[in-house]
Structure 1
């Protein structure tokens, strides 16, 4: 079952590594029953699999399923137990070598048997673990390995009750979802049982002038029955292989024990690791030499010389200079492979974010694997690492304190995280928790809040102290949700850490985007000594849902109505608040990619969080992606928004272009329109652009120094839409009807409303029964208040039809006038009286002459509020 590494020596060591990739069999037992019993293995249920592997497949798009991997028929959200079995040939051990089983991650828990002997377990779903199997292995023979894997949802008293995360807006998959291997070492070796780490560590502890100081340490294990005299040599090599700094020390490791050595060395005129601009990497080489000078173990790792600090005034400092971190949150799943992602898939994801202009990633909400850290080192991407402590830290409704098992699991995850990623230049901070400060206001999708509100501070203080003990060179951080949000009994978790990230959704779950800046300033004033960042902000955006005006009606934060254009508007307006606040040490929109979760039924997706700037399959970079690219990247960017909204509803529309060009020109059907310079937020807007019947070629051309960059798309306008405006009032997504309507647009003032009861969090909306209409979906929504429509109709004569539905007011309670270009056409109009009651549609039509390319319809209240459900403007015959 050996993979491509079979029998190979590590590139820089005396170790032998054998990949355990092929030849596995898998048997999914499934959930425990109500009594906690587990079904027996079924002999006929084994299937051949390769590692990495997960038995789960989560989330699918409801639209165009033929273009996607996931469908309702192949998703699998089973939580429970699966067994893996492999028979493998072990190498011949002839000189006292040690043999280790190494798994990069198994979720949630792993229990292992080798040759009918239980050899151990692991209860961290996200970290690497190793087991010394030298005494159980059949050297040079076939061996039988069973791995019991359990991803049962944690609950009091069950098999995973103490395994974080307890809950969260993502799904914890089951499986051996990262690579596994055998590793053979010499009897004396760098410690293989150091919390999954390499056993050797280095950090830049001083950087001044033309000199850097590197501290180093190494743990040496001696499995022999006599003391082992050894020499440890640590060297730093530049990219030409020249040694630029070194340290060595002699020691004698007692029999059966592990010794730790520490030292430091200086590097003159160091070439620094400087983020995406210059991610220069040295090679850090640790050698373990025997008494005769023979190298008996060695480890090579990439290492960047750099200094990272956080300052409450200047933000993030890289090598002494302000360097604001910009990127996105990142979950590890893809539609193609779910959690069993390959290094190539991870590389693709990182390249997409680099193309956006990101220089940082927040690795959410758990420890990610080695590939993303190694690639981040090489690309210069600064990382926020964190453990799986998310939202909840108890599993019974009456628990006030975190149970001891959960505390220890959190500490294990933190120890594993730090030991396994300590040497990576890319890692800037250690995150100890995400959104554990809801207090009693926990979100609906997480279920009922507990009977008592547990205090997270003892656990957070415990973890913060452990983090500083493990690594005093990196800041301890937390992402909070709720401080200064007007919620009661919110713990101030910022007090536990060195620096803070805030997850804030103004304009999505609450408030408006223009409230974000003042909110951040208030937090900064409250905690002047705590460097502040924005660790999450985002909105759902479905690439197959489109609106003519993102403010035309309500979006559904937990429902189906999530057009892509609203997501774009949200990010534009939030960035307006963030762009000038240089004290923020980092800004991470949520999320880089759509990801799988089993608590959402939103947009055009099921079990997918649609806040990604890129789709789950990595195929569509949404318009918001290009907004950030135009603002964050130095690469020439010209991108026309709305390219997936092809069949247009209106003959006149705004054209919005993301451009970082000094000047940008729009060409519509071969005719050049105005050239724009220095567009606000690098979004150039051409208003009231006229479309022709049929195909329309839209070209945006940006002129940069030495080159011209252009983007071209095609929009279509059907014959029935030419010179016609059919407006579905009060909605951001036009309803289907016998003729095409557009979403609410061209309005000034008023508010949107609906006769229907909204859905959300998996609940479908409840539609109202509306009489006297074949356009129920159109007339169910409305605009009300004191408002007008300014419709850019070409000069000519039009028939205007207004449709009304009274949602709840009796006759006489709502009276209003309607005027067309200043002429009153309806006076003291009473919808309920005219329709004979509530929830019945009634229409009024009139002709109007439009002399100057603008039709203004004014709706003026006489009593109560004016209202309209749809507006139709068509050329008069």
Structure 2
């Protein structure tokens, strides 16, 4: 059990064990330093002095960060706003006055920080204790000599999350760059730990001082190897015993070993023990995440227990095979999951264990069984919860995209040392977790000279070769933990590149391959992914391969009537929620058809903060999450995976947030994993569908009613029925007069009316008069005179194409709009309505400068379908907007 008391910002935890009477003796104490902190957002002189006046500083609790980054331009999915964001990176100061309880003579006191970003310098009572460089891992400092037990102490911490640059104080601290924001502060817990002079080592790179690994396991028996580091901070050499035992959930001892050691004063002795377990209960992933308690004790020469640590431990074996994929306890086990960043709206990185538990519950409800912890070391909470939930974990260090600064071709020795340090801390702090399966040594260091020159190349275009550093880190990981494979994620091998682009092949630097590929988003079509993976596999048939990132952005308030109506804008506004879903719908069947992939991780579980994006309906947010930045608002794509990955019966009507409809006829898409699904509109059945491909049921050409449209999807399964509902609206004026914004995925804003995105077309291609957006830079809209619908007329469909628009029988006024820029080459084309030619040898006016809009109107008759054919003449046909108005 855990005993707690609070005084002056200290939460005291005395570790004791009541499940097993033999382990009831109290040993080390852990005091959480949570409240009572003072914080200064900026730099200051003299703050290390114990009597420094800090009364005017902000009062905070730890975990804490001063950064709030990323906001939506709407009121769904987040509390951050343009007014309350805090993006400053630099120095921050923390001060805490606390009074720890008295200690026994000879006891040792340690300050333990679960993370401080990105560098931290620590003083206690005016004495400098040390520095840690790296914002993601636990570190400890020996405070014994200066701690005043039973009296007031002053703890001072200076942190610095300055963006690395040549000459900056953080130039040798990874990550140097990355598409995520590095928050500052003491954003994970801080503690005071007290141990006896003879104890389990506290200086093992932030780890427990215990290393346990399953050597072999079956239903009949298992062998677990345990190494214990016994430290002696007493005055003389002493004898000790390390006792290691495994207990099942009922507190029964299933294996134990005792190993003697002689430890010299001021030294650490490492001893090894092997536990033999008969008929073990194995850790079986999400099917049965069974955990034992691994209890490690140190006994002094008199047989007294002087230190003890209890850790959950899962007995399991994991292997990776190029044909069978991931193998858990001898059986193929397909890993399907998500990437994960640790920030959330309103809190940044200063999240609680409850926040992480909520995230894990959301991920598990979706049906995922693995998480890629990107692009840095994550905290103990996510590892502990993954152990308990049976979620297999990919762990990664923050070697992201760049490893040199200032155009250097070789990394500085200090940066190499920092990479080695962060990898060592990652392994030592997480290698006892059953969930941890992979050590990733890098992410996307294979851009070569395709990256901007300020990131990876010198003035002559020469590119730093990452292989020497990767091979060094691969060797280090294997030396630290031979039981797990190494991996890295690549971006660019095998992708189409510009002429002269050189892409290094880095996948061979690690045991496992991982590919970050964004077909249908940054390049290509979603349907091209499968063949690309086949090609990568053919190049290295003996290396297991995974898909480590894939996906697309999706805005909660951005919608489309046709996902093929125009290009998505990965760096700009056109990121409709429906397009994100479509990319995942196209991708998942390709992955299911390739069981040799040992894992797939979609990008990303949740929207997250960055500092280089102005896109979708957000600022400084990567919109590829399946859940919004508030970690609560679920996008349609989340339900697509739940339908495919979670066997619990469910139905979900998509596009619920697209309430005000632009067209009277539309498709309705429902994600359903039930045996049959019926769709009802305002109480009328629109039919039942069964065995829908990839759990996607589609009702085409659904005619909406004027006004309110209540949709109900009703799924029938063996145990009963499940339902989902949506409310859409169709304005009568929209039925009478609809407007097609040609050549676009997302319709422009109309002047007092709703426009629909491009729809009901065949053939042609799309183009725009606007200058496209880039990372962090908004697009530049063209000025178009002669129209109030600039946004709509900026895009157009061109080439040879036709429209077949579903309409009621009757007479219609059709108005065709054309916007033309001064750079347009002359050329004529025709527009036909069946046998009737509406425009013959037509060429829109070409202005001397800028762009101009013009319209041509016609009266036509239609019976069920209104047909428009655009036929090139001396030039390609084109149209920017189509108005269709019913005549009475």
Q: TM-score interval w.r.t. the shorter chain?
A: over 0.9
In the alignment, what sits opposite 2:3? none
Shift of 1:445: 9.6
Shift of 1:582: 0.5
In the alignment, what sits opposite 2:852? 840
The separation in 2 between residues aligned to 1:446 and 1:613, in whole angstroms, is: 29
In the alignment, what sits opposite 1:648? 661
CA contact (8 A) 1:646 1:716 kept: yes
Shift of 1:495: 1.4
CA contact (8 A) 1:57 1:74 kept: yes
The separation in 2 between residues aligned to 1:123 and 1:841, in whole angstroms, is: 59
SS of structure 2 residue aligned to 1:601: strand
Bigger shift: residues 541-550 or 752-761:
752-761
Bigger shift: residues 663-672 or 243-252:
243-252
Shift of 1:472: 0.6
Pairing 1:380-459 to 2, within 5 Å after superposition: 380-397=390-407, 399-442=408-451, 451-459=461-469
TM-superposition CA deviations, 1:41-90 (whole Å, max 9, x none): 9967511111001111111111228x732111111111111111111112
The separation in 1 between residues aligned to 2:71 and 2:347, in whole angstroms, is: 13
Pairing 1:563-642 to 2, within 5 Å after superposition: 563-642=576-655
CA contact (8 A) 1:310 1:316 kept: yes
CA contact (8 A) 1:810 1:838 kept: no
Pairing 1:313-712 to 2, within 5 Å after superposition: 313-397=323-407, 399-442=408-451, 451-487=461-497, 488-712=501-725
Bigger shift: residues 447-456 or 380-389:
447-456
CA contact (8 A) 2:10 2:35 kept: no
Sort the Cα spacing of 1:810 and 1:230 in 2 relative to 1 into closer, same or farther, 3 A.
closer
Bigger shift: residues 203-212 or 745-754:
203-212
Tell me which stretches of 4 or more aligned residues in structure 1 moved more than 6 Å. 447-450, 835-838
Sort the Cα spacing of 1:854 and 1:838 in 2 relative to 1 into closer, same or farther, 3 A.
farther
The separation in 2 between residues aligned to 1:194 and 1:793, in whole angstroms, is: 73
1:6 lines up with 2:12 in the alignment: yes
TM-score (norm 2): 0.95
SS of structure 2 residue aligned to 1:353: helix
SS of structure 2 residue aligned to 1:635: coil
Pairing 1:757-772 to 2, within 5 Å after superposition: 757-772=771-786
Sort the Cα spacing of 1:30 and 1:728 in 2 relative to 1 into closer, same or farther, 3 A.
farther
Sort the Cα spacing of 1:2 and 1:376 in 2 relative to 1 into closer, same or farther, 3 A.
farther
SS of structure 2 residue aligned to 1:478: strand
In the alignment, what sits opposite 1:38? none
The separation in 2 between residues aligned to 1:431 and 1:445, in whole angstroms, is: 25
Shift of 1:449: 6.5
The separation in 1 between residues aligned to 2:830 and 2:280, in whole angstroms, is: 77
Aligned length: 864
The separation in 2 between residues aligned to 1:173 and 1:147, in whole angstroms, is: 16
Sort the Cα spacing of 1:3 and 1:582 in 2 relative to 1 into closer, same or farther, 3 A.
farther
In the alignment, what sits opposite 2:874? 863
The separation in 1 between residues aligned to 2:462 and 2:453, in whole angstroms, is: 17
1:240 lines up with 2:250 in the alignment: yes
CA contact (8 A) 2:831 2:839 kept: yes
Sort the Cα spacing of 1:762 and 1:94 in 2 relative to 1 into closer, same or farther, 3 A.
closer
Shift of 1:830: 2.0
The separation in 2 between residues aligned to 1:617 and 1:875, in whole angstroms, is: 44
Shift of 1:587: 0.6
The separation in 2 between residues aligned to 1:627 and 1:816, in whole angstroms, is: 43
In the alignment, what sits opposite 2:49? none
TM-superposition CA deviations, 1:22-47 (whole Å, max 9, x none): 11101122599xxxxxxxx9967511
TM-superposition CA deviations, 1:415-436 (whole Å, max 9, x none): 1111111110000100010001
1:124 to 113, 118, 134: 134
TM-superposition CA deviations, 1:213-238 (whole Å, max 9, x none): 11111000011112222211111111
Shift of 1:496: 1.0
Shift of 1:10: 5.2
Shift of 1:345: 0.3
CA contact (8 A) 1:30 1:78 kept: no
CA contact (8 A) 1:652 1:792 kept: yes
CA contact (8 A) 1:15 1:186 kept: yes
Sort the Cα spacing of 1:453 and 1:575 in 2 relative to 1 into closer, same or farther, 3 A.
same
The separation in 1 between residues aligned to 2:212 and 2:364, in whole angstroms, is: 27
Pairing 1:123-272 to 2, within 5 Å after superposition: 123-208=133-218, 210-272=220-282
TM-superposition CA deviations, 1:358-391 (whole Å, max 9, x none): 0000000000000000000000110000011101
The separation in 2 between residues aligned to 1:796 and 1:244, in whole angstroms, is: 82
The separation in 2 between residues aligned to 1:768 and 1:202, in whole angstroms, is: 63
TM-score (norm 1): 0.96
The separation in 1 between residues aligned to 2:781 and 2:859, in whole angstroms, is: 33
The separation in 1 between residues aligned to 2:447 and 2:434, in whole angstroms, is: 33
Shift of 1:4: 7.0
TM-superposition CA deviations, 1:383-421 (whole Å, max 9, x none): 000011101111121x22211111110111111111111
SS of structure 1 residue aligned to 2:578: helix
Sort the Cα spacing of 1:484 and 1:30 in 2 relative to 1 into closer, same or farther, 3 A.
farther
Shift of 1:823: 2.6
The separation in 2 between residues aligned to 1:260 and 1:799, in whole angstroms, is: 87
Sort the Cα spacing of 1:457 and 1:573 in 2 relative to 1 into closer, same or farther, 3 A.
same
CA contact (8 A) 1:2 1:19 kept: no
In the alignment, what sits opposite 1:872? 883
Q: Structure 1, unaligned stretches of length 5 or more? A: 33-40
Sort the Cα spacing of 1:247 and 1:330 in 2 relative to 1 into closer, same or farther, 3 A.
same
TM-superposition CA deviations, 1:774-824 (whole Å, max 9, x none): 22222221111111111111222222111122335768x322222223432
The separation in 1 between residues aligned to 2:598 and 2:666, in whole angstroms, is: 39
CA contact (8 A) 2:10 2:98 kept: no
